[in-house]
Each structure stands twice: as structure tokens, then as C-alpha cells.
């Protein structure tokens, strides 16, 4: 293992492009690694750019299907939403990238991995903890956390080192994209009193300009995972990609989130998650039909903890493994089809059916054919209310204003 060889998570953007010569100046041999998780990227073009920036070697991996299968599928089954709003699109991609970084580092005999995260963000924690969990012997280097350069200084540094960077000084936003969503921050978004301008959105139509006619989509689930869209069976990745386009055209999936970052600051983030918004609503709608009340309540508590763990970078931990075991045990009967209505920024369940439905019309109806035994309700209510009734009866025995005191006795020796 070489302590002067480092594998860099390379996106092709400004920070990671500048990181290559910065690391080389400090004596490192840089191996670039680019992971395709659904962002708009030409893998071969990015590979050439990494080599032109000074990388010794450059790996590119199309991991979209792996991302959908190994990360988005369990996230959907667990209805993961951080703070009840954010589908964790960026957070879910980081452990996948980290896993590949460690694999390449071991293949290359590298002693370190590097990433382009700053000291204010959550991703630095995710990459660092991921590496520690999978390969504690590896060092983690975060150039952007150390160099202290502004964006303009980075551009000047890139130009001085002949790094081909297309960054524009006038661009105020920082964006990140993958299959599960698009995130935007910086610029005017740093003022939470200002409505996000239309220019920050790239995946979704403004709800005001969305079609005046609603569109319906039908999603089939097996084992709590989507397997078909509008009657056509397909794997999860193309299903997500199609839903992103369809729901995005109706303005579905815009999220304006004042977020509690792990590092202790509040941050204003704008997300576009069309497919995630539709699929999560559909999955929850199907669970409401197929899971009993006590299990639903227990699962909602686990979901909150699971989402927190993913956000906090704890994917490769026994905690997440235990969460998966619990969630997996709940999904066997989450099977059926859900119809979703897409209209002016909203995605709502319009119908659902399942062979494992706990809903029975013969029990719920107030019309002919009612099989519910109403005469049993009185006895049920008596037993159900017995603790409350007993509590109230004991309280009535006390005189108004009386105080209950405990008597103590002392035994002499």
C-alpha cells in the first residue's frame, strides 16, 4: 500500500478538478474515480478531463442500476424522508460512491481516498465515516476543507495550472443530481425570506404553468418495491427515470427545505424529486391498505430513525442493517397497484387495490351486506375503557382538597 497514492471522487466540477493539481503539489499520485448515479455526465469526457487535469489514471463506473437496486429500493420501502420532507437523494448516493472509492483504493494499493466536500456540508461526514467503516486503514483527504480558496480563487488556480474547467464566475448556484433528485443551494437561496426564482429549477415545470388536465399513472408493487408502470413491467431505474419526466412535467416534486445539517447549522436547500415524491406517496398509500395499525405505527418510528441515520452518514453500520431487517419483514404483503393523480404540483393517491388488503367493504360499509357485529362494540368499549374508568373512580374517593401522604414507620433496633 502506497501512502502517497490517493483515489479521488471525481465529478469533473470545479472543486474536484482543482483538487488534482493541489494533491499532486503535495506529492500524491492521483487516481480519479467517477461514479454515474444519474447525473448528466458523459463518462468518457469526464475521464479525459481527469487525465488532462493531471490524474495518473481515471476510472469511470455506470452505477445507476446498482444505485436503484441497492439504495433506492430499501429507501423507498422504508419511506425515508429526512425531517418529513427530504427524500435523501444526495445522502443515499454517498455511501455507494464511498464503497467504490474503497474498492478502487484497495485495487490500486492506495493509502488514501479524497473528496471535494467543504467543511460546512454533510457529505464530508458521509464520505469520511463511510471510509472509516469499510476501510479504517485508509486516510481521508478533503482538499476543499483545507485550502481555504474562494470560488474565484479556485478558478484562477485552475487557469494557472492549465486545468480545463468550464466554471463561470457569474453562476451563483451549487447543484447536485442523481436518479432520486436534484438539489440546489447558494446564491439568492441563502435568504430564506425570498421565494426560489424559477431559474433554480431544472427538472420540474412551474405548477402554475403545468398542464390544466391531470394525468394518472398506475404503479404496481411487489414486496414493497415498484415493478411496473402503467402496466409495463420494468426494472427500477427506468421506472424512476420515466416518472421523473412524467411527474416533473406536472410540477410535482418541488421541495423548499430549511434543513438542519449534521454539522449544526441551518441551511436552505431546494430539491426537485418528482419520481421520489410519487413513489413514496404511492408506497405509503399501499402500506395503509396492507399493514395493521400497530405495525404501521412501529414502522413510522423506525422510518424516522432510519432517515436520520442515512442523513448522518451511518449507512455501513449495524444500525442500518438492523433497520433493513425490520423494514424487510414488513414488506412481504405490500403488493398491489396504486393509481396516482398528477396535477399542478400535486401527486395524490386516487385508487389502490391489493390481494393482501386489510380493507373489507363488508366490514366498512353502512349499507346492505354489513358483516360487522355492532352488538359486540359495547363489551369491547367496556373492557377498553376499564383502566380510565378505574382511575376516575379512585380519584372520586378523595375529599376535595385532601392530600395523600405516605405513612412511614421506624423500627427500633
Active site residues: 15, 94, 123, 174
Q: How far apart are the first and last CA of the chain?
A: 75
Q: How far apart are CA 203 and CA 391, in angstroms?
A: 57
In contact, 39 and 148? CB cutoff 8 Å: no
Cα angle 87, 90, 93; round to 5 = 110
Q: How far apart are CA 407 and CA 383, in angstroms?
A: 34
Q: How far apart are CA 246 and CA 382, in angstroms?
A: 52
DSSP 222-282: ETTEEEEETTEE--HHHHHHHHHHHHHTTTTTEEEEEEE-TTS-EEEEEEE-HHHHHHHHH
335 grid coordinates: 403488493
Q: How far apart are CA 52 and CA 100, in angstroms?
A: 22
In contact, 330 and 299? CB cutoff 8 Å: yes
> Three-state SS string across 260-277, please?
ECCCCCEEEEEEECHHHH
Radius of gyration of the chain (CA): 27
CA nearest neighbour of 252 among 219, 274, 227: 274
Pairing type for strands 110-114 and 139-141 reads parallel
In contact, 199 and 244? CB cutoff 8 Å: no
Amino acid at each position: 500500500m502506497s501512502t502517497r497514492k490517493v483515489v479521488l471522487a471525481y465529478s469533473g466540477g470545479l472543486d474536484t478538478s482543482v483538487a488534482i493539481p493541489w494533491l499532486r503539489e503535495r506529492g500524491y499520485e492521483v487516481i480519479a474515480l467517477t461514479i454515474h448515479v444519474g447525473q448528466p455526465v458523459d463518462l468518457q469526457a469526464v475521464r479525459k478531463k481527469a487525465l488532462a487535469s493531471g490524474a495518473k489514471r481515471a476510472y469511470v463506473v455506470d452505477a445507476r442500476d446498482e444505485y436503484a437496486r441497492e439504495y433506492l429500493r430499501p429507501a423507498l420501502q422504508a419511506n425515508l424522508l429526512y425531517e418529513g420532507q427530504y427524500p435523501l437523494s444526495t445522502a443515499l448516493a454517498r455511501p455507494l460512491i464511498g464503497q467504490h472509492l474503497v474498492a478502487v483504493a484497495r485495487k490500486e494499493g492506495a493509502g488514501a481516498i479524497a473528496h471535494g466536500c467543504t467543511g460546512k456540508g454533510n457529505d464530508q461526514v458521509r464520505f469520511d465515516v463511510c471510509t472509516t467503516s469499510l476501510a479504517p486503514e485508509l486516510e481521508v483527504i478533503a482538499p476543499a476543507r483545507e485550502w481555504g480558496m474562494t470560488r474565484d480563487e479556485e478558478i484562477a488556480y485552475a487557469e494557472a495550472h492549465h486545468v480545463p474547467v468550464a466554471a463561470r464566475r457569474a453562476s451563483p448556484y451549487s447543484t447536485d443530481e442523481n436518479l432520486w433528485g436534484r438539489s440546489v443551494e447558494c446564491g439568492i437561496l441563502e435568504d430564506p425570506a425570498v421565494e426560489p426564482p424559477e431559474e433554480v429549477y431544472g427538472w420540474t415545470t412551474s405548477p402554475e404553468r403545468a398542464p390544466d388536465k391531470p394525468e394518472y399513472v398506475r404503479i404496481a408493487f411487489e414486496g414493497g418495491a415498484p415493478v411496473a408502470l402503467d402496466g409495463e413491467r420494468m426494472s427500477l431505474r427506468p421506472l424512476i427515470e420515466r416518472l421523473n419526466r412524467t411527474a416533473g412535467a406536472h410540477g410535482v416534486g418541488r421541495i423548499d427545505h430549511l434543513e438542519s445539517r449534521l454539522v449544526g447549522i441551518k441551511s436552505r436547500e431546494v430539491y426537485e424529486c418528482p419520481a421520489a415524491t410519487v413513489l413514496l406517496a404511492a408506497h405509503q398509500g399501499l402500506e395503509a391498505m396492507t399493514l395493521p395499525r400497530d405495525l404501521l405505527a412501529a414502522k413510522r418510528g423506525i422510518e424516522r430513525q432510519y432517515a436520520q441515520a442515512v442523513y448522518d452518514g451511518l449507512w455501513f453500520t449495524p444500525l442500518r442493517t438492523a433497520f433493513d431487517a425490520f423494514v424487510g419483514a414488513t414488506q412481504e404483503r405490500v403488493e398491489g397497484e396504486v393509481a396516482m393523480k398528477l396535477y399542478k404540483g400535486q401527486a395524490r393517491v386516487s385508487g389502490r387495490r391489493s390481494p393482501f388488503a386489510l380493507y373489507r367493504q363488508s366490514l366498512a360499509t353502512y349499507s346492505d351486506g354489513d358483516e360487522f357485529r355492532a352488538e359486540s362494540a359495547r363489551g369491547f368499549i367496556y373492557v377498553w375503557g376499564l383502566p380510565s374508568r378505574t382511575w376516575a373512580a379512585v380519584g372520586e374517593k378523595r375529599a376535595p382538597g385532601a392530600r395523600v401522604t405516605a405513612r412511614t414507620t421506624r423500627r427500633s433496633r
